[in-house]
A = this chain, B = another copy of it.
Amino acid sequence: MESPNGDWIEPGVISCDVLVVGAGLAGLTAARELKSRSPDLKVIVLEAKDRVGGRTCTVDLRAANGKTDRWDLGAQWVGNSQKYILRLLRELQIDTYRQYDEGTKWLQAGSTAIRPFDTQKWSLSFLKQYSLLEACDAAKTLWTLEKLVNTVDVDDIFNTPNAKLFDSLSVEERVRQHTSSRLVRDVLEVATKSIYGIPTKRLSFLYFLYYAKCAGSFENLIETEKNGAQAFKVKGGTEQISQRLATVLASDELFLNTAVTVVDTSDPLGVFVHTADTSAINEAEGTTPSNEKTRFKCRRLILAIPPDECGHLCWVPGLPLHKEQLFNGAPSGNLFKCIITYERAFWREKGFSGEIASTGWTEFSGETMPLVSAFDATTADGNPALVAFLHNEWTERSLEERRTALLRDLARFLGEEANDYIDYRDKDWHLEPFGGGCPVACLPPGNMEAFSHIREPMEPWMVHFSGTETATHWPGYMSGAVQSGLRAAHEVLFHLDHSQVEHRHLKGSIYATDYVFPSAPDNSYTQRAEWSPWPRRILLYSAVALGIYLYSRKYTLSHTARAFRPIERSVIKWWSGYHWP
């Protein structure tokens, strides 16, 4: 039923112009942008958790000198080139401070030995600490990787050279094929576990390259200096960003504890959304979610939740195949993060930066230590702490076991003082209800074709997709979330209130003026013939040999002839004169 001014009137249904699902950075940015550009629009934000902030989470911990301070168990760092989040922080007047990274960094990879390393001068530090082969291999691998990252076409992924080949490879397999030392493979494994929260075997090599390209380079993903992702931290934690964004929403515009269950796009006039009350699930001990159910109707829907959460909804009618394939084939990684606070920053006193990367392997077969990587996490107020990422295998252990093992592991690198902690808190993101992992969706081999359509709104274009996964600049980071929120908001404005659209925010969307529809992997027979290695090699070697032979034989250029004739003769002689005794 439509009222004269275009609103829907239906009993028991809350209607609005734009419904945003997910009150993380992406969803709240979208809502804020919509309200500031077009104040007349009625915007409602739904959130299944009992808090805003999505994959950011700031907690209070006991700190040095009996004080308390705030640390991040979710998104934490911002980088120099992450322009979207930096602009937002400026707008909200939230300060940042430098990640401490002076002093020795420790690496346990390639063997069980612990050795210093320097991310700024990988090759040099490897040359000092490891063998020549390992250092050369590391230099070659990183150089090749950056070269490949540079070839990626972010807007049209299958326009990247060898995209089809790279998509059928796991990172592990690609690395196995193109490296010759365990050291390099271990370093890449540890880097992947720290960046994505999953092992290399589960990641498409094409996605790995795409992700690095969106960040500028692979170095940016692992670096704490220059344009590195870990250059700055946010004073007071990152959850406050969402909390401050949420202040623009009135109490009837933000619904917490409201999970979307059904998305019904069968009505050409608007999207119909069913929700369930999740307050009992969000309260730790609650077991009986109430029967209450609110329904919403909107002219445009923005889904600002991870792809796998989109797949958990009931879609009426069924999803197009490429969306279903994406939502069911893009599981989130799982960063298992913990903060340990200390009385003194003892590692700094020893000349260590606090940065550690470790495979977790010891000389005892079968025993794996929990630590993947660690950084200095001392706050802006100078309260010393370390932040560590854990191997996911440790999720099944008890808190006590985990903590003991982690402290023992830290002590391997930083000394026995690591055991004298003040407070400890860890967060296993896969257990967060309605979150489904952190930091980002990780595409397994073979599914990048579906991923290339990730930003495409759904026919008949009333559902728009936001969330850090959909960004073209620093996806998987807070900056990507903000970019995707702005894009989704301007996509919606494009339909509802054309005059307000700023086209630069539509970058990467199908409404961008320079948009190209993503190409599919080329399978046609006109493509360059794929040869498997062995016939190609035999053919190549034979052709070279034949060429040299003919060259020396027919054209008798003096030096070539002189070079090969004795060999030729001796082969003939050997062949004819050779008899078994």
Measuring CB to CB, which residues of chain A are less than 8 angstroms from any residue of chain B?
A: 111-112, 133, 167-170, 172-173, 176-182, 185, 198-203, 259, 261-262, 264, 266-267, 272, 274, 276, 278, 281, 285, 287-289, 291, 293, 308, 311-312, 314, 316-321, 324-325, 328-329, 331-332, 334, 361, 363, 365-366, 368, 392, 395-396, 428, 430-434, 436-437, 444-447, 523-526, 529-535, 558-559, 562-563, 566-567, 569-571, 573-574, 577-581
Q: What 7 pairs across the A-B complex have the smallest Cβ distances?
A: A202-B446, A444-B444, A201-B446, A318-B431, A328-B331, A168-B201, A566-B570
The smallest C-beta distance from A220 to any residue of chain B, in angstroms, reads 25
* New A-B contacts (10) at CB < 8 Å, excluding given A169-B173, A328-B436, A361-B525: A133-B535, A168-B172, A185-B530, A201-B445, A261-B261, A261-B276, A318-B430, A365-B524, A559-B581, A567-B570
User: Given the complex of chains A and B, what is the CA–CA distance between A366 and B180 in angstroms?
Assistant: 39
Q: Which residue of chain B has the shortest Cβ distance to A282 in the bound complex? A: B316
Contacting residues, chain B, for A562 (C-beta < 8 A)? 574, 577-578
User: Given the complex of chains A and B, what is the CA–CA distance between A532 and B133 in angstroms?
Assistant: 12
A264 touches B287 (CB 8 A): yes
A446 touches B396 (CB 8 A): no
In-complex Cβ contact of A532 among B176, B430, B570 (8 A): B176
Given contacts A112-B525, A365-B526, A570-B567, contact A202 B329 (CB under 8 A): yes
A287 touches B272 (CB 8 A): yes
Contacting residues, chain B, for A285 (C-beta < 8 A)? 266
In-complex Cβ contact of A202 among B179, B199, B447 (8 A): B447
In-complex Cβ contact of A170 among B170, B287, B334, B365 (8 A): B170
In-complex Cβ contact of A287 among B112, B267, B532, B534 (8 A): B267
Given contacts A168-B170, A291-B293, A570-B570, contact A532 B179 (CB under 8 A): yes
A446 touches B444 (CB 8 A): yes
B170 touches A169 (CB 8 A): yes
The smallest C-beta distance from A142 to any residue of chain B, in angstroms, reads 16
Contacting residues, chain B, for A169 (C-beta < 8 A)? 170, 173
Given contacts A281-B316, A287-B266, A332-B328, contact A574 B567 (CB under 8 A): yes
B199 touches A446 (CB 8 A): yes
User: Given the complex of chains A and B, what is the CA–CA distance between A422 and B282 in angstroms?
Assistant: 56
Q: Which residue of chain B has the shortest Cβ distance to A202 in the bound complex? A: B446
In-complex Cβ contact of A321 among B318, B365, B430 (8 A): B430
B535 touches A180 (CB 8 A): yes
Contacting residues, chain B, for A312 (C-beta < 8 A)? 311-312, 314
The smallest C-beta distance from A330 to any residue of chain B, in angstroms, reads 9
Q: Can you show 7 pairs from A to B with CB atoms below 8 A apart?
A: A170-B446, A202-B329, A203-B446, A272-B288, A361-B523, A563-B574, A567-B567
The smallest C-beta distance from A418 to any residue of chain B, in angstroms, reads 24
Given contacts A262-B289, A574-B563, contact A182 B529 (CB under 8 A): yes
Contacting residues, chain B, for A396 (C-beta < 8 A)? 320-321
Contacting residues, chain B, for A181 (C-beta < 8 A)? 532
The smallest C-beta distance from A95 to any residue of chain B, in angstroms, reads 35
User: Given the complex of chains A and B, what is the CA–CA distance between A32 and B353 in angstroms?
Assistant: 64
The smallest C-beta distance from A452 to any residue of chain B, in angstroms, reads 14
Contacting residues, chain B, for A526 (C-beta < 8 A)? 365
User: Given the complex of chains A and B, what is the CA–CA distance between A318 and B318 in angstroms?
Assistant: 27
Contacting residues, chain B, for A168 (C-beta < 8 A)? 170, 172-173, 176, 200-201
A559 touches B580 (CB 8 A): yes
User: Given the complex of chains A and B, what is the CA–CA distance between A433 and B316 in angstroms?
Assistant: 8
Given contacts A170-B170, A267-B287, contact A524 B361 (CB under 8 A): yes
The smallest C-beta distance from A456 to any residue of chain B, in angstroms, reads 12
Contacting residues, chain B, for A259 (C-beta < 8 A)? 314
User: Given the complex of chains A and B, what is the CA–CA distance between A135 and B571 in angstroms?
Assistant: 34
Q: Which of A203, A281, A573 has the most CB of B within 10 A?
A: A281
Contacting residues, chain B, for A316 (C-beta < 8 A)? 281, 287, 433
Q: Which of A285, A289, A334 has the most CB of B within 10 A?
A: A289
Q: Which residue of chain B has the shortest Cβ distance to A205 in the bound complex? A: B173
User: Given the complex of chains A and B, what is the CA–CA distance between A181 and B579 in angstroms?
Assistant: 39
Q: Which of A173, A267, A529, A579 has the most CB of B within 10 A?
A: A173
Given contacts A291-B293, A445-B444, A535-B133, contact A530 B176 (CB under 8 A): yes
Q: Which residue of chain B has the shortest Cβ distance to A526 in the bound complex? A: B365
Contacting residues, chain B, for A581 (C-beta < 8 A)? 558-559
The smallest C-beta distance from A362 to any residue of chain B, in angstroms, reads 9
User: Given the complex of chains A and B, what is the CA–CA distance between A442 and B445 in angstroms?
Assistant: 12
A314 touches B433 (CB 8 A): yes
Contacting residues, chain B, for A320 (C-beta < 8 A)? 395-396
User: Given the complex of chains A and B, what is the CA–CA distance between A558 and B578 in angstroms?
Assistant: 11
User: Given the complex of chains A and B, what is the CA–CA distance between A395 and B200 in angstroms?
Assistant: 32
User: Given the complex of chains A and B, what is the CA–CA distance between A278 and B314 in angstroms?
Assistant: 10
Contacting residues, chain B, for A530 (C-beta < 8 A)? 176, 182, 185
Contacting residues, chain B, for A332 (C-beta < 8 A)? 328
User: Given the complex of chains A and B, what is the CA–CA distance between A363 and B317 in angstroms?
Assistant: 37
A532 touches B331 (CB 8 A): no
User: Given the complex of chains A and B, what is the CA–CA distance between A535 and B311 in angstroms?
Assistant: 45
Contacting residues, chain B, for A447 (C-beta < 8 A)? 202, 444
Q: Which residue of chain B has the shortest Cβ distance to A330 in the bound complex? A: B328
